[in-house]
Amino acid sequence: MDSSHVENDLVNILFTEEQIQQRLAEMALQITEDYEGRDLLVVGVLRGAVMVMADLARSMPRHLEMDWMAVSSYGSGTKSSGVVRILKDLDTDISGRDVLIVDEIIDTGLTLSWLVNNLSSRNPASVEIATLLRKPEALSMPVEPKYVGWDIPNEFVVGYGLDYRERYRNLRDIGTLAPHVYS
């Protein structure tokens, strides 16, 4: 592996591809049980949730529909700007539908608390959240994800959909970046 290989920028791997797949399979099983007999619409939050959505959805042996929303609360760096904007709205009318929002990480919870409010105002039958990761800060926000992969320390992580300046989304594992990347 030469030094330009993207994996070399990770200093600490928190979750390997295998661990992620294992955890998503467990979550998928639980979701499948909970939504038995109901018509499920899974909403992925672009762009970070693409990988989680693809793997979680394929772990569910049931019919479901997928739609996508793009919202922006972050600039290009590592801090939230505090303002949420819809960049791409749903194509689906969710009134009367059971909606499960799929996201890759909850940090401050700002994005998802805003999104839950926004979707709830469209009269769905239910709105729940599944997130692969959650940081402790999220506990202070009015966001209660029904499904959480793991709680993680308050560090900036990348990989498996999570970016730093739009890079690293394509890593199979999740980890933290070497200091040289930021300088």
Beta bridge partner(s), residue 12: 176
Give me the catalytic one of 9, 55, 103, 107.
107
Site string for Mg ion, 144-163 (x = CB under 5 A): -------------------x
Phi, psi of 150 (to 5 degrees): -145, 145
107 binds, among Mg ion, ligand 5GP, none (CB under 5 to 8 A by kind): ligand 5GP
Least distance to ligand 5GP from the beta carbon of 167, Å?
Answer: 10
CB atoms within 10 A of CB 33: 8
Indicate if the alpha-carbon torsion angle 8, 9, 12, 18 is positive or negative.
Answer: negative
- Taking CB under 5 A as the criterion, the residue among 48, 124, 145, 159 binding Mg ion is 48
CB atoms within 10 A of CB 113: 18
Of 28 and 49, which has the nearer Cβ to ligand 5GP?
A: 49
Rounded to whole angstroms, the Cα distance separating 125 from 177 reads: 41
Site string for Mg ion, 61-100 (x = CB under 5 A): ----------------------------------------
The residues that touch ligand 5GP, with contacts defined as CB under 6 A, are 48, 73-74, 80, 103-112, 156-158, 162-164
Of 124 and 159, which has the nearer Cβ to ligand 5GP?
A: 159
Edge-first strand listing for the sheet containing 174-177:
10-15, 174-177, 157-158
